[in-house]
Structure 1
Amino acid sequence: MTADDPALTPARQRRERERAAARETILSAARDLAKREGWDAVTMRRLADEIEYSANFAYRYFGGRDEILLALVRDGFARLHDAMAAAGQPSADAAAAVRRAGHAYLDFALAESDVYQLMYGLGGVRVPATDTWTEGQAIGDVLTGLLTTAGDRRPEPHVMQLWATAHGLIALRVVGRVDVDPTELHALLDDALTDCLARALPKTTEKKKP
Protein backbone atom coordinates (compact mmCIF):
# COMPACT_ATOMS: atom_id res chain seq x y z
CA MET A 1 0.00 0.00 0.00
CA THR A 2 1.37 3.40 -0.99
CA ALA A 3 0.36 6.98 -0.32
CA ASP A 4 -0.98 7.26 -3.87
CA ASP A 5 -3.14 4.12 -3.70
CA PRO A 6 -6.52 5.13 -5.22
CA ALA A 7 -8.24 2.79 -2.77
CA LEU A 8 -7.30 5.12 0.09
CA THR A 9 -9.32 8.14 1.06
CA PRO A 10 -7.68 11.55 0.46
CA ALA A 11 -7.16 11.94 4.21
CA ARG A 12 -5.49 8.51 4.44
CA GLN A 13 -3.32 9.31 1.41
CA ARG A 14 -2.17 12.50 3.13
CA ARG A 15 -1.34 10.64 6.34
CA GLU A 16 0.62 8.01 4.38
CA ARG A 17 2.60 10.73 2.60
CA GLU A 18 3.35 12.40 5.92
CA ARG A 19 4.43 9.08 7.40
CA ALA A 20 6.72 8.34 4.44
CA ALA A 21 8.22 11.84 4.66
CA ALA A 22 8.84 11.47 8.40
CA ARG A 23 10.51 8.09 7.95
CA GLU A 24 12.75 9.48 5.23
CA THR A 25 13.68 12.43 7.45
CA ILE A 26 14.79 10.02 10.16
CA LEU A 27 16.68 7.75 7.75
CA SER A 28 18.39 10.73 6.14
CA ALA A 29 19.46 12.00 9.55
CA ALA A 30 20.88 8.57 10.38
CA ARG A 31 22.89 8.50 7.15
CA ASP A 32 24.24 12.00 7.76
CA LEU A 33 25.17 11.24 11.36
CA ALA A 34 26.93 8.02 10.38
CA LYS A 35 28.86 9.81 7.66
CA ARG A 36 30.19 12.31 10.19
CA GLU A 37 30.72 10.12 13.25
CA GLY A 38 30.27 6.47 12.30
CA TRP A 39 27.39 4.07 12.82
CA ASP A 40 28.04 3.69 16.55
CA ALA A 41 26.90 7.30 16.93
CA VAL A 42 23.46 6.54 15.52
CA THR A 43 21.16 6.28 18.52
CA MET A 44 17.55 7.27 18.98
CA ARG A 45 18.54 10.18 21.23
CA ARG A 46 21.14 11.48 18.81
CA LEU A 47 18.66 11.21 15.95
CA ALA A 48 16.16 13.23 17.94
CA ASP A 49 18.80 15.93 18.34
CA GLU A 50 19.58 15.81 14.63
CA ILE A 51 16.00 16.34 13.52
CA GLU A 52 15.20 18.65 16.45
CA TYR A 53 12.26 16.63 17.71
CA SER A 54 11.64 14.81 20.96
CA ALA A 55 13.13 11.34 21.38
CA ASN A 56 9.63 9.88 21.10
CA PHE A 57 9.19 11.20 17.56
CA ALA A 58 11.36 8.53 15.94
CA TYR A 59 9.62 5.81 17.95
CA ARG A 60 6.35 6.72 16.23
CA TYR A 61 7.80 5.44 12.95
CA PHE A 62 10.45 2.89 13.97
CA GLY A 63 10.56 0.36 16.78
CA GLY A 64 14.11 1.36 17.67
CA ARG A 65 17.64 1.84 16.37
CA ASP A 66 17.91 -1.70 14.98
CA GLU A 67 14.79 -1.18 12.90
CA ILE A 68 16.24 2.03 11.45
CA LEU A 69 19.49 0.29 10.55
CA LEU A 70 17.59 -2.58 8.97
CA ALA A 71 15.56 -0.14 6.86
CA LEU A 72 18.78 1.54 5.69
CA VAL A 73 20.35 -1.80 4.74
CA ARG A 74 17.28 -2.89 2.79
CA ASP A 75 17.17 0.45 1.00
CA GLY A 76 20.88 0.16 0.21
CA PHE A 77 20.47 -3.29 -1.29
CA ALA A 78 17.48 -2.12 -3.34
CA ARG A 79 19.39 0.82 -4.78
CA LEU A 80 22.48 -1.29 -5.47
CA HIS A 81 20.31 -3.84 -7.26
CA ASP A 82 18.66 -1.14 -9.36
CA ALA A 83 22.03 0.41 -10.27
CA MET A 84 23.47 -2.93 -11.39
CA ALA A 85 20.32 -3.92 -13.28
CA ALA A 86 20.27 -0.58 -15.10
CA ALA A 87 23.96 -0.82 -15.97
CA GLY A 88 23.54 -4.37 -17.22
CA GLN A 89 20.66 -3.67 -19.58
CA PRO A 90 20.72 -6.18 -22.46
CA SER A 91 22.88 -5.22 -25.41
CA ALA A 92 24.44 -6.87 -28.44
CA ASP A 93 27.52 -7.60 -26.34
CA ALA A 94 26.26 -9.66 -23.39
CA ALA A 95 29.72 -9.88 -21.80
CA ALA A 96 29.97 -6.09 -21.79
CA ALA A 97 26.75 -6.00 -19.77
CA VAL A 98 28.44 -8.17 -17.13
CA ARG A 99 31.33 -5.70 -17.00
CA ARG A 100 29.03 -2.71 -16.65
CA ALA A 101 27.10 -4.34 -13.81
CA GLY A 102 30.33 -5.22 -12.03
CA HIS A 103 31.61 -1.67 -12.26
CA ALA A 104 28.22 -0.35 -11.09
CA TYR A 105 28.67 -2.42 -7.92
CA LEU A 106 32.03 -0.77 -7.31
CA ASP A 107 30.66 2.70 -8.11
CA PHE A 108 27.90 2.28 -5.54
CA ALA A 109 30.31 1.08 -2.85
CA LEU A 110 32.61 4.05 -3.48
CA ALA A 111 29.87 6.67 -3.69
CA GLU A 112 27.92 5.38 -0.67
CA SER A 113 30.70 3.90 1.41
CA ASP A 114 28.94 4.50 4.75
CA VAL A 115 25.78 2.67 3.69
CA TYR A 116 27.85 -0.06 2.02
CA GLN A 117 29.78 -0.60 5.25
CA LEU A 118 26.51 -1.05 7.13
CA MET A 119 25.18 -3.42 4.48
CA TYR A 120 28.19 -5.71 4.83
CA GLY A 121 29.13 -5.22 8.49
CA LEU A 122 32.26 -3.15 7.86
CA GLY A 123 31.33 -0.14 9.97
CA GLY A 124 31.50 -1.64 13.45
CA VAL A 125 27.72 -2.20 13.53
CA ARG A 126 26.14 -5.34 12.12
CA VAL A 127 22.65 -6.06 10.87
CA PRO A 128 22.12 -9.85 10.88
CA ALA A 129 22.61 -11.19 7.36
CA THR A 130 19.58 -13.43 7.81
CA ASP A 131 17.39 -10.34 8.08
CA THR A 132 18.36 -9.20 4.57
CA TRP A 133 19.20 -12.53 2.99
CA THR A 134 16.72 -12.13 0.13
CA GLU A 135 17.89 -8.61 -0.67
CA GLY A 136 21.54 -9.67 -0.63
CA GLN A 137 20.90 -12.67 -2.85
CA ALA A 138 19.16 -10.43 -5.38
CA ILE A 139 22.50 -8.68 -5.99
CA GLY A 140 24.13 -11.93 -7.01
CA ASP A 141 21.10 -12.84 -9.09
CA VAL A 142 21.74 -9.82 -11.32
CA LEU A 143 25.19 -11.12 -12.26
CA THR A 144 23.97 -14.71 -12.46
CA GLY A 145 21.34 -13.70 -15.01
CA LEU A 146 23.78 -11.63 -17.06
CA LEU A 147 26.41 -14.38 -17.13
CA THR A 148 23.80 -16.95 -18.12
CA THR A 149 22.62 -14.71 -20.95
CA ALA A 150 26.23 -14.35 -22.09
CA GLY A 151 26.58 -18.13 -22.32
CA ASP A 152 28.03 -19.13 -18.93
CA ARG A 153 26.88 -22.64 -18.01
CA ARG A 154 28.15 -22.45 -14.42
CA PRO A 155 27.56 -18.86 -13.36
CA GLU A 156 27.32 -19.33 -9.58
CA PRO A 157 31.05 -19.87 -8.83
CA HIS A 158 31.94 -17.02 -11.19
CA VAL A 159 29.53 -14.70 -9.40
CA MET A 160 31.20 -15.67 -6.12
CA GLN A 161 34.62 -14.90 -7.56
CA LEU A 162 33.57 -11.49 -8.87
CA TRP A 163 31.74 -10.57 -5.67
CA ALA A 164 34.72 -11.61 -3.55
CA THR A 165 37.04 -9.49 -5.68
CA ALA A 166 34.87 -6.36 -5.71
CA HIS A 167 33.96 -6.63 -2.03
CA GLY A 168 37.53 -7.43 -1.07
CA LEU A 169 38.85 -4.34 -2.83
CA ILE A 170 36.32 -2.14 -1.06
CA ALA A 171 36.91 -3.76 2.34
CA LEU A 172 40.69 -3.32 2.08
CA ARG A 173 40.21 0.32 1.17
CA VAL A 174 37.75 0.91 4.01
CA VAL A 175 40.09 -0.49 6.69
CA GLY A 176 43.04 1.41 5.23
CA ARG A 177 45.00 -1.62 4.03
CA VAL A 178 45.28 -0.31 0.50
CA ASP A 179 45.65 3.27 -0.66
CA VAL A 180 44.37 3.32 -4.21
CA ASP A 181 42.05 5.73 -5.98
CA PRO A 182 38.75 4.75 -7.62
CA THR A 183 40.31 4.58 -11.08
CA GLU A 184 42.84 2.01 -9.89
CA LEU A 185 40.14 0.00 -8.14
CA HIS A 186 38.11 -0.13 -11.33
CA ALA A 187 41.20 -1.23 -13.27
CA LEU A 188 41.81 -4.07 -10.79
CA LEU A 189 38.17 -5.14 -10.99
CA ASP A 190 38.27 -5.02 -14.78
CA ASP A 191 41.27 -7.37 -14.78
CA ALA A 192 39.29 -9.78 -12.62
CA LEU A 193 36.31 -9.48 -14.96
CA THR A 194 38.53 -10.24 -17.94
CA ASP A 195 39.95 -13.36 -16.28
CA CYS A 196 36.53 -14.54 -15.15
CA LEU A 197 34.85 -14.01 -18.51
CA ALA A 198 37.69 -15.76 -20.33
CA ARG A 199 37.04 -18.89 -18.26
CA ALA A 200 33.28 -18.61 -18.06
CA LEU A 201 32.23 -17.89 -21.60
CA PRO A 202 32.60 -19.60 -24.97
CA LYS A 203 35.73 -18.36 -26.75
CA THR A 204 33.74 -16.33 -29.25
CA THR A 205 31.50 -14.55 -26.73
CA GLU A 206 33.77 -11.92 -25.19
CA LYS A 207 34.64 -9.16 -27.63
CA LYS A 208 37.96 -7.46 -27.42
CA LYS A 209 37.91 -4.23 -25.46
CA PRO A 210 38.72 -1.13 -27.54
Structure 2
Amino acid sequence: MSVQERKARERADRERLIVATARELAEQQGWDAVTTRRLAERIEYSQPVLYSHFRGKREIIGAVALQGATELAAAVRAACAAADGPRDRVAALARAYLDFAERNPAVYDALFQLDGGLAYAREDTPAPLKDAFAALMETLGEVAGDALHPGVFTETFWAALHGLATLTRAGRLPAEFAAERVRLLVERLPVV
Protein backbone atom coordinates (compact mmCIF):
# COMPACT_ATOMS: atom_id res chain seq x y z
CA MET A 1 0.00 0.00 0.00
CA SER A 2 1.35 3.39 -0.96
CA VAL A 3 1.68 6.26 1.48
CA GLN A 4 -1.05 8.13 -0.38
CA GLU A 5 -3.44 5.16 -0.14
CA ARG A 6 -2.72 4.81 3.57
CA LYS A 7 -3.34 8.52 4.15
CA ALA A 8 -6.61 8.34 2.20
CA ARG A 9 -7.72 5.35 4.27
CA GLU A 10 -6.79 7.10 7.51
CA ARG A 11 -8.67 10.21 6.39
CA ALA A 12 -11.77 8.14 5.59
CA ASP A 13 -11.49 6.40 8.97
CA ARG A 14 -11.25 9.76 10.77
CA GLU A 15 -14.27 11.04 8.88
CA ARG A 16 -16.30 7.95 9.83
CA LEU A 17 -15.20 8.43 13.45
CA ILE A 18 -16.32 12.07 13.42
CA VAL A 19 -19.74 11.17 12.00
CA ALA A 20 -20.21 8.22 14.36
CA THR A 21 -19.20 10.30 17.37
CA ALA A 22 -21.47 13.19 16.37
CA ARG A 23 -24.35 10.78 15.88
CA GLU A 24 -23.73 9.08 19.24
CA LEU A 25 -23.49 12.40 21.06
CA ALA A 26 -26.65 13.71 19.36
CA GLU A 27 -28.59 10.53 20.22
CA GLN A 28 -27.45 10.76 23.85
CA GLN A 29 -27.72 14.50 24.48
CA GLY A 30 -29.35 16.14 21.46
CA TRP A 31 -27.85 18.11 18.60
CA ASP A 32 -27.20 21.17 20.78
CA ALA A 33 -24.54 19.09 22.57
CA VAL A 34 -22.70 18.47 19.31
CA THR A 35 -19.98 21.08 19.00
CA THR A 36 -16.64 20.90 17.23
CA ARG A 37 -14.91 21.37 20.58
CA ARG A 38 -16.75 18.43 22.12
CA LEU A 39 -16.23 16.27 19.06
CA ALA A 40 -12.52 17.07 19.03
CA GLU A 41 -12.25 16.08 22.69
CA ARG A 42 -14.17 12.84 22.18
CA ILE A 43 -12.24 11.66 19.13
CA GLU A 44 -8.95 12.97 20.52
CA TYR A 45 -8.08 15.13 17.53
CA SER A 46 -7.77 18.89 17.35
CA GLN A 47 -10.54 21.12 16.07
CA PRO A 48 -8.47 21.98 12.96
CA VAL A 49 -8.49 18.27 12.11
CA LEU A 50 -12.30 18.28 12.28
CA TYR A 51 -12.39 21.36 10.08
CA SER A 52 -10.16 19.62 7.56
CA HIS A 53 -13.01 17.13 7.08
CA PHE A 54 -16.10 19.28 7.63
CA ARG A 55 -16.55 23.04 7.47
CA GLY A 56 -18.68 22.92 10.59
CA LYS A 57 -21.61 21.37 12.40
CA ARG A 58 -23.94 21.87 9.43
CA GLU A 59 -21.84 19.57 7.24
CA ILE A 60 -21.57 17.02 10.04
CA ILE A 61 -25.37 17.02 10.34
CA GLY A 62 -25.52 16.50 6.57
CA ALA A 63 -23.14 13.53 6.79
CA VAL A 64 -25.27 11.97 9.53
CA ALA A 65 -28.37 12.58 7.41
CA LEU A 66 -26.84 10.83 4.40
CA GLN A 67 -25.84 7.87 6.56
CA GLY A 68 -29.35 7.79 8.01
CA ALA A 69 -30.96 7.91 4.56
CA THR A 70 -29.00 4.83 3.56
CA GLU A 71 -30.11 3.03 6.72
CA LEU A 72 -33.73 4.10 6.29
CA ALA A 73 -33.81 2.85 2.71
CA ALA A 74 -32.36 -0.50 3.79
CA ALA A 75 -34.86 -0.84 6.66
CA VAL A 76 -37.83 -0.04 4.41
CA ARG A 77 -36.69 -2.43 1.67
CA ALA A 78 -36.06 -5.25 4.14
CA ALA A 79 -39.46 -4.80 5.75
CA CYS A 80 -41.26 -4.68 2.41
CA ALA A 81 -39.40 -7.71 1.06
CA ALA A 82 -40.66 -9.78 3.99
CA ALA A 83 -44.32 -8.82 3.41
CA ASP A 84 -46.86 -10.45 1.09
CA GLY A 85 -49.18 -8.39 -1.06
CA PRO A 86 -49.40 -4.65 -1.66
CA ARG A 87 -51.34 -3.72 1.49
CA ASP A 88 -49.02 -5.76 3.72
CA ARG A 89 -45.98 -4.15 2.05
CA VAL A 90 -47.39 -0.67 2.69
CA ALA A 91 -48.07 -1.56 6.33
CA ALA A 92 -44.54 -2.96 6.65
CA LEU A 93 -43.13 0.20 5.07
CA ALA A 94 -45.07 2.40 7.50
CA ARG A 95 -43.96 0.39 10.54
CA ALA A 96 -40.32 0.34 9.36
CA TYR A 97 -40.36 4.10 8.77
CA LEU A 98 -41.93 4.89 12.14
CA ASP A 99 -39.66 2.41 13.94
CA PHE A 100 -36.61 4.02 12.34
CA ALA A 101 -37.78 7.49 13.44
CA GLU A 102 -38.39 6.27 16.99
CA ARG A 103 -35.11 4.34 17.34
CA ASN A 104 -32.95 7.07 15.76
CA PRO A 105 -34.37 10.45 16.80
CA ALA A 106 -31.16 12.43 16.23
CA VAL A 107 -30.63 10.86 12.82
CA TYR A 108 -34.29 11.50 11.94
CA ASP A 109 -33.82 15.13 12.96
CA ALA A 110 -30.68 15.36 10.82
CA LEU A 111 -32.66 13.99 7.88
CA PHE A 112 -35.84 16.03 8.17
CA GLN A 113 -35.66 18.77 10.80
CA LEU A 114 -32.18 20.28 10.82
CA ASP A 115 -30.25 22.13 8.16
CA GLY A 116 -27.50 19.82 7.00
CA GLY A 117 -26.96 21.82 3.82
CA LEU A 118 -28.49 19.08 1.67
CA ALA A 119 -30.71 19.63 -1.34
CA TYR A 120 -34.03 17.79 -1.35
CA ALA A 121 -36.28 17.16 -4.34
CA ARG A 122 -33.86 18.73 -6.77
CA GLU A 123 -31.48 17.63 -9.48
CA ASP A 124 -28.51 17.95 -7.09
CA THR A 125 -30.10 15.90 -4.31
CA PRO A 126 -27.46 13.48 -2.99
CA ALA A 127 -27.86 9.85 -4.06
CA PRO A 128 -28.63 8.47 -0.54
CA LEU A 129 -31.58 10.86 -0.21
CA LYS A 130 -32.86 9.94 -3.66
CA ASP A 131 -32.49 6.27 -2.80
CA ALA A 132 -34.44 6.64 0.46
CA PHE A 133 -37.30 8.23 -1.47
CA ALA A 134 -37.01 5.52 -4.13
CA ALA A 135 -37.30 2.87 -1.39
CA LEU A 136 -40.62 4.41 -0.37
CA MET A 137 -41.81 4.77 -3.96
CA GLU A 138 -40.99 1.15 -4.85
CA THR A 139 -43.85 0.02 -2.62
CA LEU A 140 -46.10 3.07 -2.67
CA GLY A 141 -45.88 3.42 -6.45
CA GLU A 142 -47.58 0.05 -6.86
CA VAL A 143 -50.61 1.24 -4.88
CA ALA A 144 -50.81 4.80 -6.23
CA GLY A 145 -53.29 3.87 -8.94
CA ASP A 146 -53.67 5.44 -12.33
CA ALA A 147 -55.20 8.67 -11.01
CA LEU A 148 -52.09 9.80 -9.16
CA HIS A 149 -48.51 10.34 -10.14
CA PRO A 150 -46.55 7.77 -8.07
CA GLY A 151 -44.14 10.45 -6.83
CA VAL A 152 -46.94 12.70 -5.60
CA PHE A 153 -48.66 9.78 -3.90
CA THR A 154 -45.37 8.79 -2.24
CA GLU A 155 -44.76 12.37 -1.08
CA THR A 156 -48.24 12.53 0.44
CA PHE A 157 -47.96 9.19 2.22
CA TRP A 158 -44.46 10.11 3.41
CA ALA A 159 -45.83 13.41 4.76
CA ALA A 160 -48.45 11.47 6.73
CA LEU A 161 -45.76 9.18 8.18
CA HIS A 162 -43.55 12.15 8.99
CA GLY A 163 -46.46 13.83 10.77
CA LEU A 164 -47.17 10.70 12.79
CA ALA A 165 -43.49 10.29 13.71
CA THR A 166 -43.04 13.93 14.67
CA LEU A 167 -46.30 14.36 16.58
CA THR A 168 -45.89 11.08 18.47
CA ARG A 169 -42.33 11.93 19.45
CA ALA A 170 -43.42 15.37 20.65
CA GLY A 171 -46.08 13.75 22.86
CA ARG A 172 -48.92 15.35 20.90
CA LEU A 173 -50.24 11.93 19.84
CA PRO A 174 -50.47 9.14 22.42
CA ALA A 175 -47.90 6.46 21.57
CA GLU A 176 -50.24 3.64 22.56
CA PHE A 177 -52.35 4.26 19.44
CA ALA A 178 -49.43 4.16 16.97
CA ALA A 179 -50.38 0.74 15.56
CA GLU A 180 -54.00 1.82 15.20
CA ARG A 181 -52.95 4.92 13.24
CA VAL A 182 -50.86 2.82 10.85
CA ARG A 183 -53.74 0.38 10.39
CA LEU A 184 -56.15 3.25 9.70
CA LEU A 185 -53.79 4.89 7.22
CA VAL A 186 -53.10 1.66 5.33
CA GLU A 187 -56.72 0.47 5.29
CA ARG A 188 -57.82 3.70 3.60
CA LEU A 189 -55.58 3.05 0.60
CA PRO A 190 -57.36 2.02 -2.59
CA VAL A 191 -55.08 -1.04 -2.96
CA VAL A 192 -55.97 -3.53 -5.67
**TM-score, reference length from structure 2:** 0.81
Q: Considering only CA atoms, is the larger Rg found in Structure 1 or Structure 2? A: 1
Supply the distance in 1 between the matched residues of 2:115 and 2:68 (Cα, whole angstroms).
14
Query: Which one of the candidate residues 73, 92, 97 is aligned to 2:89?
Result: 97
Of 140, 147, 154, which aligns to 1:159?
154
Task: Report if aligned partners of 1:95, 1:147 keep a CA contact under 8 Å in 2.
Answer: no
**Number of equivalenced pairs:** 186
- Specify whether residues 28 and 143 from structure 1 end up closer, same or farther in structure 2 by C-alpha distance, changes over 3 A only: closer
Deviation of 1:168 (Å): 0.8
1:150-171 Cα shifts (integer Å, max 9, x gaps): 5732334432332122111111
Please, what is the CA RMSD of the aligned residues?
A: 2.6
5+ residue gaps, structure 1, are 1-8, 203-210
State whether residues 70 and 129 of structure 2, in contact with CA within 8 Å, keep that contact through their aligned partners in structure 1: no
Counterpart Cα distance in 2 of 1:140 and 1:49: 36
Cα contact 1:106–1:186 (8 A) shared by 2: no
**Length-normalised TM-score, structure 1:** 0.75
1:144 aligns with 2:133: no
Q: Which moved more, 1:58-67 or 1:68-77?
A: 58-67
1:55 Cα deviation (Å)? 1.6
Report whether the alignment pairs 1:180 with 2:175. Answer: yes
Choose the corresponding residue for 2:79, options 81, 87, 108.
87
Q: Deviation per CA, 1:119-178, whole angstroms, max 9, x where unpaired?
A: 111xxx423452685344443332322234457323344323321221111111232323
1:115 offset after TM fit, Å? 0.8
Structure 2 unmatched ranges of 5 or more: none
Aligned identity (percent) is 30
Q: Secondary structure of the equivalent of 2:81? A: coil
1:72 to 64, 74, 98: 64
Distance 1:131 1:57, change over 3 A: farther
